[in-house]
Amino acid sequence: MKILIINSWSSSLKFQLFDILNDNILIEWIIEKISLKDSFIKYEVNNNKNKILEEIKDHNEWLNLFLDIILEKEKIISDKSEINAIWHRVVHWWAFFSKPVLINESVIEKISECIELAPLHNPANLNWIIACRKIFWLVPQVACFDTWFHQTMEEEKYLYAIDLKYYEKYWIRKYWFHGISHEFVSKRAEEILWKEKTWKLITCHVGNWASISAIKNWKVVNTSMWFTPVDGLVMGTRSGNIDPSVLTFLMDKENLSTKEMNNILNKESGVLWLTWVSGDMRETEDWYLSKDEKFTLVMEMYISRIVQTIGQSIADLNWVDTIILTAGVLENSWVIRKLILERLWFIWVELDESINDFRWEERIISTKDSKVTVIVIPTNEEKMIAEATYNILK
């Protein structure tokens, strides 16, 4: 069975054509800067890496280009009918779906209703679903929701201390995100550590968007993102935690609409707007290492929020056995890993600095004497997705 996996974001996209029966990735595409003039594709086939510069704004054109490459250029398949299913990662489900589902008109309608809760992602998710229906109109499509892994949390954890009528009327509660990634790395940690130190886990998914989850006995106890993905840690363009009174204060002072305020929190905050240079932590890291005062402040804010959240997770779990570091920033930055772990001395974490300078590898980076095991695990949402899709369709 060949499954096309579409993991879409607001300005980037990852495709994988996955042969699940042979556990083999046939092609992996990563598209960056969608709808911008310098958009490009990186793709890999049989360990051969390629790059294509394309100014394409239409989702159908991207799909047609993808088909041209897999059918004509790389000859991975002979006909598009060989694609048996298409899987889509969808960020927000509100309270409608508790597991992956086959996409129909009702599912599309529900995803659309959640756009206001995930304005950077749900529109992109919908666009790819609609584009695939036009080109692969006989192929079943499956949606897997970013929040479903976290549905083990207790009621006292997901309710807000406001009138319950708002929960009953509008489903206002904590939902949590990056569930596919948190599930993958927690399961992978179990395989690596043979269940020796995986009873109480803290999984740290820190990329351009970021969240931290506390997991006990394979059930999520708490996590940092709440009602929408804007909450929690300092991120690329998102503010993370902020006193809600700040928002009403600014709206009054600046005469801002709710739409304008939402745009500020999602697109005009975080690292990008603190530095006025870039939301990419690689650049922030370079300036930090050069001892630039502004970037040092931003880095301290960034690290401080991560450590605070890990501390809260330790309290939720009443200790931690294993801390997992994953996603773009933590899979690649030895500097940020070091800064975080140095601040966890109070739980006797010991970093082995001699093995910390690496990228994109699976590696335990704590010493043998460390009271807590720290492991870097590159996330693989697509593999989790392929397995979920196969289980639905088999």
As a CATH number, domain 2-145 is: 3.30.420.40
Active site amino acids: 146
* Residue 114 pLDDT greater than 80, yes or no: no
Provide the pLDDT for residue 367: 96
Select from 327, 325, 92, 305 the least CA-distant residue to 208. 327
Residue 87: band (very low, low, confident or very high) from pLDDT cuts 50, 70, 90: confident
* Alpha carbons 89 and 333: distance in angstroms, whole number: 26
Asked if CATH classification 3.30.420.40 holds for the domain at 193-376, the reply, yes or no, is yes
Residue 356 CA: distances (Å) to CA of 153, 160, 334: 33, 40, 6
Please report, rounded to a whole number, the percentage of residues in the chain having pLDDT higher than 70: 92
Return contacts of 8-14, CB within 8 angstroms, 24+ apart. 8/88, 8/89, 8/121, 8/124, 8/125, 8/127, 8/128, 9/120, 9/121, 9/124, 10/34, 10/120, 10/121, 10/123, 10/124, 11/35, 11/36, 13/62, 13/124, 13/128, 14/382
Extents of the domains making up the chain = 2-145, 193-376
Topology agreement, domain 2-145 and domain 193-376 = yes
Select from 225, 222, 236, 228 the least CA-distant residue to 274. 236
For the stretch 297-348, pLDDT in tens is 999 999 999 999 999 999 999 999 999 999 999 999 999 999 999 999 999 9
